[in-house]
Chain A
Amino acid sequence: MSEPLIFEHSRPGRTAVVQHPSRAPSADVPQQFRRTRPPALPEVSELQAVRHYTRLSQLNFSIDTHFYPLGSCTMKYNPRACNQLAMLPEFLARHPLAPAELSQGFLACLYELQEMLKEVTGMRGVSLTPMAGAQGEFAGVAMIRAYHQARGDHERTEIIVPDAAHGTNPATATMCGCTVVEVESLPNGDIDLEALARMVGPRTAGIMLTNPSTLGVFERRIREVAGLVHAAGGLLYYDGANLNAILGKVRPGDMGFDVIHMNLHKTFSTPHGGGGPGSGAVGVGERLLPFMPVPLVGKEGDRYRWLDERDLPQTIGRLSAFMGNAGVLLRAYVYMRMLGRAGMQRVAEYATLNANYLLARLVQAGFEPAYPERRASHEFIITLKRQAREQDVTAMDFAKRLLDFGFHAPTTYFPLLVPECLLIEPTETETKETLDAFVDALVAIQREAEQDAAKVKGAPYTLPVRRLDDVRAAKQLDLAYVPGEH
C-alpha cells in the first residue's frame, strides 16, 4: 500500500477546468510586481485529485476507523451532527466582519456556549477566542501577569510547574516572559507540598496545574495547594487537558483555580483533524475578569453584540485576526446541547469507568501500573520497564506492534517521569468489547515478547510502511518535493 506524490500524477497542460472562473480577464499587474514563473503546483484532473486524497486518507488511523486510546488527548467520538450543523451554508458564508444585526443567530450560539462553559467549570467569565490549548495557556499566564502588573506587583515573574507537566506549560511561561520553577511529585503522584511551601513567595506569579495530573491521578490536596499559593499572593492556573475526567464531578472554580483553559477538541469532542484545529477557551474567576482576551460576546436585552477593547480596557488583547476558531466553537456548542445537563455529568463517570476497568484487566493480566495504590482517573499509566529489562522490548515496541493488531498506540514516554510508560485513555465512547479486545492484544504482544522478542521489535508489519528512520529524516532534511530529485 503506497501512493505516489500528487506531483507524480501531474502532466503539463492537464487541468480541472470546471473549477476555473469562466470569466477571467488577464491580470492587470505592472511588470515590476508580476510573477514570471508559475508556482510548481500539480496539474491533475479532478478524478486524479479525488482518488489520490481519498487513498491518502485510507493510510490513516482515526477515531472513525480505530480505537485510539492516546492518553492526554481524549480521542472520543466526534458526533457527525456537530460537523454538519457547524457547516450550514449560512454559517460558512458568514464573513467575520459582518455586522451584529446580521449575526444574531451565530452570536446566540457563542453566547450560550460561554454561559455553559462557565457553569461546567465554575468560573465567572469565559473567552472563546484562543485558537488552541497552547494559546489558551498563553492567555491564562498573560492574564496572571497583567493582574500582578495592574497591582504594581512587578516582581512576580515566577511560574511554578510540576515536574510531570505537559511541555506546553513551561514553554508558555517562558513565552510570557516568566521564569519556570519545577516542583517535584511524590512517589504516590501527589505534589510535594513541603517543597511547594518552600518555593512560594513574593516572586510567585502563579502555579500551573493539571488535575487529575498527567500521571492520571487526582491531586487530593488541591485545596492545600490553593491555600499555599494564594496566601503567598500567587494565582492558580488550571490546564484543562484532563477536564474529561472531572466534568460534572468537581469544578476547577470550586477547587480554587483563578484561570483555566479548556481544550474543546478534547472534552467537548470537536475533531482533532490530523493535528488541529484545536480551540482553547479560557475561563476566569472574579479577579481576572477585566483582563480576558477579546472579543467576547455580550447580551443586552435580547440582542447580542461583540465586546472589545472599549468594553474591557485592561484586556490582554487579541489572539487572532477575528474570533478564534469560530467553526470549532459551533461544533462544541452542538455537542453540549446534545449532551445536556445529565449527559455532561455522565462524561466523567463513564470515562472513569472505562479507564478503571481497562486498568484492572491489564493488572490481572500481569501488567504493572505506575501508581498501583491509586484510582485511575479517565486515564492511567502502565510501565513496561520489566519487559524492557527482561526481554529488551520497549514501550515503543509495544506501541508499534499494537498498530498491527488494529489499535492506535497509547501515548508513549509521557509523562517523562515514568520509565517505559504507556499513558492509556479509553474515553467514555468505547464499548466494553473494544476494551476487552485491546487487553487481548496487549496480552498477545506480551506473549510474543517472551517467545520472540525480535518479532515485536520489528513491528509494525501490516501498515503502509515499516518502522521509519527518524534519524535520517532529521539529518538528511527533505521537506519539499523538488522535481527531478525524487
Chain B
Amino acid sequence: MPFIPHTENDVKEMLAVIGAPSIEALFDEIPAALRTRALTGLPEALSEMEVTQLMERRAARDGRPLTFVGAGAYEHHIPAAVWAIVTRGEFYSAYTPYQAEASQGTLQLLYEYQSMMASLTGMEVSNASLYDGASALAEACLMAVRAHRKSRSARILVPATLHPTYRQVAHTLTAGQRLSFDVLPYDPATGTTQRAALDAYAGEDITAVVIQQPNFFGLLEDVDALTDWARANGAMAIAVVNPLSLAILKPPGEWGAQGAGVDIVVGDGQPLGVPLSSGGPYFGFMTTRREHVRQMPGRLVGRTVDLQGKPGYTLTLQAREQHIRRSKATSNICTNQGLLVTAATIHMALLGAAGLARVAAASQARTRELVEALTAIDGVELVFDGPRFHEAVLRLDRPVAGVLQALAARGIVGGYDLSAHYPELGDTVLVCATETKTTEHIQAYAQALRAIMADAQPDAAASRDARSGSSAAK
C-alpha cells in the first residue's frame, strides 16, 4: 500500500485494542446513505517508476524554449547550493514554527530574511512573507486603510503602468471591503506616471498612492516626485518593486527629494532564487515602518531569550493574526511561503550585495543588447526610450499574437502581448532579457524575428507555423 506501513498483523492488533471488528466499523458514525462507492473516475495507481516516466514525457513535450518574457516573473541563475539546502527534509517537511524550541532553524532563517529584506528595501521591518507579489499588494492596500489615522475614503490611486494582473488581484481580494481604486493615466510620450496626473486629486481624501518601480513597461518612474506628492497630500505611499532591481536602484525607504521614504513596500520575491516554475510557488514580501508594524499582516519572527538568557527566535505579535483575533484579525492569512523564503535567504547570502548588483546590471545590459538587435529589424521599433531596468516595449508593424505564435513554433517565448491591457499602444510587445541570455540567444531571437517579419503575409505564415509547431511538440 503506497506510504501506508501497516502489516495485516498490525491491523489485527490495533482493532483488538480499539475493540472494533473491522476498519470499516470505524466509520459507523457516517450515515450509510452518504457513503461513497468506488471512485471509478480515478485512474489505477502508478508505481514511482511509471509516474516518473509519465512526468518526464510531459516535461519533454513542453521542452525548454528560449524565454524572453518577464512581466512579473524572471529567469535568473540560481546557485546549485540553494535548492540543495531548501529541499533538505528538515526545512522542506517542517510545519509553521509554532513550537519555537523545535523550530529554531526555520525561525532564525526567517529573522535573517526579515533583516535582509528590511535592508534591501530601506525599511525598518519586514514580515516573514505573503503569498505572492499581487496578493501582497492587495494586503498593502488593506493595511493602508487600517493604518491611516485620518483618511476615511479608502480610496487608492493606482498607476496604469502597474502590472495589470496585480491590479486585478487587488480588486478581487478587496472587493468585500469598500476600497476604491482610481487609475492614474501614464504620459504617452514617456510611458511613466507624471505628477500632473496626480494633481487632479490634490485636496481630496486619498488613502494611499501605489508606485511601481520599475513600472510594468520596465521604465523607471520619477519615484521621488510621486512619493513627495503622496506625503504632501496626506496619502500613504505604497511601493511595488522588483527586489533584484534594488541592488542598483534607490530603495523605497529613501524615495522622495528629502529621502523620507514610502510607508509600505511590497513585491514578488521570485527573482531572488525562485525558479520560474510555471508561476509559482513564489513569495510576496512586505516591509514597512516600525510605527505600522501592528497593522502589518502575516507572520513575524522576533529575537528574544530563553529562561536561561540564551538568545532564540519565536513568532511574535500573534495577537494580530486570525488564530487569535478571528473575525477581527488583520488578514485571514495563515501560511506564508516559508520554503521560498528559505531559498531567497540562501540566495541573498550567496550572492551578497555585490553579486546581486552584478546580476541586475548584467540583466539590464542584456536587455539593451536585445533591444538593439530587435529594433534593427524592419517593422520593429522601441516605444519608450527613457531609463529602464531590464524590460522594454517594442512596437511591431502587425498584430503581436501571430508573431509570438510563429516564434513559439521556433522554440522562442518572445514576449508579452500588451494589446489586451494597453490597446492604445497598438501592436506592442513587452520583452525581457536577464543575465541568463547570451549574445547567441539574442541573435537567435533576432534571426527568427527577422525571418517572420520579412514574410509578406505575416498572418498566413503565423498560422502555418503554429500548426507545424503543435504537431512537432507532440
Q: Does A pair with B? A: yes
B 438-474 to A, binary, CB cutoff 8 A, 1 in contact else 0: 0000000000000000000000000000100110011
Decide if A21 touches B435 in the complex (CB within 8 Å).
yes
Among A50, A137, A361, max chain B CB count under 10 A is at A50
Neighbour of A59 across the interface among B104, B119, B333, CB < 8 A: B104
Q: Given A167-B326, A273-B94, A323-B278, does the pair A468, B109 have CB atoms closer than 8 Å?
A: no
Q: Given A30-B387, A97-B413, A254-B34, does the pair A468, B305 have CB atoms closer than 8 Å?
A: yes
Flag whether A339 is at the interface (Cβ < 8 A): yes
A 39-52 to B, binary, CB cutoff 8 A, 1 in contact else 0: 11111101001101
Could you list 19 examples of A-B contacts with CB < 8 Å? A26-B361, A28-B365, A56-B105, A61-B99, A62-B90, A62-B93, A87-B275, A134-B334, A171-B331, A273-B92, A274-B91, A318-B169, A319-B172, A320-B169, A321-B73, A341-B40, A350-B1, A474-B317, A477-B317
Complex interface: chain B residues within 8 A of A340 (CB)? 2, 42-46
Complex interface: chain B residues within 8 A of A217 (CB)? 29
Flag whether B59 is at the interface (Cβ < 8 A): yes
Complex: how many Å from CA A246 to CA B279? 31
B 111-152 to A, binary, CB cutoff 8 A, 1 in contact else 0: 110111011100011101101111100000000000000000
Query: Which segment of A191-199, A384-392, A448-456, A458-466 sits at the interface?
Result: A458-466
Decide if A44 touches B176 in the complex (CB within 8 Å).
no
Chain B nearest CB: distance from A457 CB in Å? Answer: 11
Q: Mark out the residues of chain A between 328 and 357 whose CB falls within 8 Å of any chain B CB in the assembled complex.
A: 328, 330, 334, 336-346, 348-350, 352-354, 356-357
Q: Given A24-B365, A131-B281, does the pair A479, B114 have CB atoms closer than 8 Å?
A: yes
Decide if B172 touches A174 in the complex (CB within 8 Å).
no
Q: Given A24-B361, A56-B109, does the pair A29, B278 have CB atoms closer than 8 Å?
A: no
Neighbour of A473 across the interface among B28, B73, B302, B435, CB < 8 A: B302
Flag whether A287 is at the interface (Cβ < 8 A): no
B 160-176 to A, binary, CB cutoff 8 A, 1 in contact else 0: 00010110110111011
User: In chain A, what residue has the closest Cβ to B361?
Assistant: A27
Complex: how many Å from CA A463 to CA B368? 53
Complex interface: chain B residues within 8 A of A400 (CB)? 99, 101
Complex: how many Å from CA A118 to CA B39? 11
Decide if A173 touches B327 in the complex (CB within 8 Å).
yes
Decide if B334 touches A174 in the complex (CB within 8 Å).
no
Neighbour of A94 across the interface among B6, B83, B276, CB < 8 A: B276
Inter-chain pairs besides A134-B332, A275-B106, A428-B3, 10 sampled, C-beta below 8 Å:
A17-B355, A36-B250, A53-B346, A61-B99, A96-B276, A97-B69, A132-B131, A273-B94, A327-B280, A336-B42
Complex: how many Å from CA A279 to CA B280? 10
User: In chain B, what residue has the closest Cβ to A479?
Assistant: B125
Neighbour of B93 across the interface among A5, A63, A88, CB < 8 A: A63
Complex interface: chain B residues within 8 A of A94 (CB)? 62, 276-278
Decide if A353 touches B135 in the complex (CB within 8 Å).
no
Decide if B404 touches A99 in the complex (CB within 8 Å).
yes
Complex interface: chain B residues within 8 A of A480 (CB)? 111, 114-115, 118-119, 124-126
Complex interface: chain A residues within 8 A of B75 (CB)? 93, 95
The list of the 9 closest CB pairs from A to B, nearest first, reads A64-B89, A340-B45, A322-B279, A273-B339, A177-B176, A96-B279, A105-B58, A317-B172, A119-B41
Decide if B45 touches A342 in the complex (CB within 8 Å).
yes
Decide if B90 touches A109 in the complex (CB within 8 Å).
no
Decide if B101 touches A466 in the complex (CB within 8 Å).
yes
Decide if B278 touches A101 in the complex (CB within 8 Å).
no
Flag whether A293 is at the interface (Cβ < 8 A): yes
Query: Which segment of B48-56, B198-206, B376-384 sits at the interface?
Result: B48-56
Decide if A60 touches B91 in the complex (CB within 8 Å).
yes
B 338-370 to A, binary, CB cutoff 8 A, 1 in contact else 0: 111010011011111111111111101100100
User: In chain A, what residue has the closest Cβ to B321?
Assistant: A167
Q: Given A131-B135, A338-B2, A346-B4, does the pair A42, B61 have CB atoms closer than 8 Å?
A: no
Complex: how many Å from CA A418 to CA B379? 72
Neighbour of B349 across the interface among A44, A122, A178, CB < 8 A: A44
Complex: how many Å from CA A85 to CA B55? 6
Complex interface: chain A residues within 8 A of B247 (CB)? 35, 38-39
Flag whether B397 is at the interface (Cβ < 8 A): no
Q: Mark out the residues of chain B between 59 and 91 whose CB falls within 8 Å of any chain A CB in the assembled complex.
A: 59-65, 67, 69, 71-73, 75, 77, 79, 81, 83, 85, 87-91
How many of chain B's residues have a CB under 8 angstroms from any CB in A? Answer: 208
Complex interface: chain A residues within 8 A of B103 (CB)? 59-61, 274
Among B44, B54, B349, B368, max chain A CB count under 10 A is at B349
Flag whether B95 is at the interface (Cβ < 8 A): yes
A 10-22 to B, binary, CB cutoff 8 A, 1 in contact else 0: 0000011101110
Neighbour of B280 across the interface among A68, A138, A250, A328, CB < 8 A: A328
Q: Given A93-B75, A321-B133, A341-B40, does the pair A477, B4 have CB atoms closer than 8 Å?
A: no
Complex interface: chain A residues within 8 A of B92 (CB)? 62, 64, 78, 83, 271, 273
Decide if A463 touches B102 in the complex (CB within 8 Å).
yes
Total number of residue pairs linking A and B with CB closer than 8 Å: 702
Complex: how many Å from CA A277 to CA B338? 6
Q: Mark out the residues of chain A between 188 and 222 whose CB falls within 8 Å of any chain B CB in the assembled complex.
A: 217-218, 220, 222
How many of chain A's residues have a CB under 8 angstroms from any CB in B? Answer: 204
Decide if B334 touches A132 in the complex (CB within 8 Å).
yes
Chain A nearest CB: distance from B7 CB in Å? Answer: 8
Complex interface: chain B residues within 8 A of A40 (CB)? 115-116, 119, 353
Flag whether A156 is at the interface (Cβ < 8 A): no
B 1-44 to A, binary, CB cutoff 8 A, 1 in contact else 0: 11111100011011101111001001111110111101111111
Flag whether A367 is at the interface (Cβ < 8 A): no
Flag whether A155 is at the interface (Cβ < 8 A): no
Complex interface: chain B residues within 8 A of A430 (CB)? 5
Complex: how many Å from CA A16 to CA B281? 27
Flag whether A79 is at the interface (Cβ < 8 A): yes
Flag whether A232 is at the interface (Cβ < 8 A): no
Q: Given A32-B224, A34-B248, A46-B81, does the pair A90, B51 have CB atoms closer than 8 Å?
A: no
Complex interface: chain B residues within 8 A of A122 (CB)? 36
Flag whether B329 is at the interface (Cβ < 8 A): yes
Decide if A27 touches B169 in the complex (CB within 8 Å).
no
Complex interface: chain B residues within 8 A of A49 (CB)? 81, 346, 349-350
Decide if A350 touches B4 in the complex (CB within 8 Å).
yes
Complex: how many Å from CA A57 to CA B101? 13
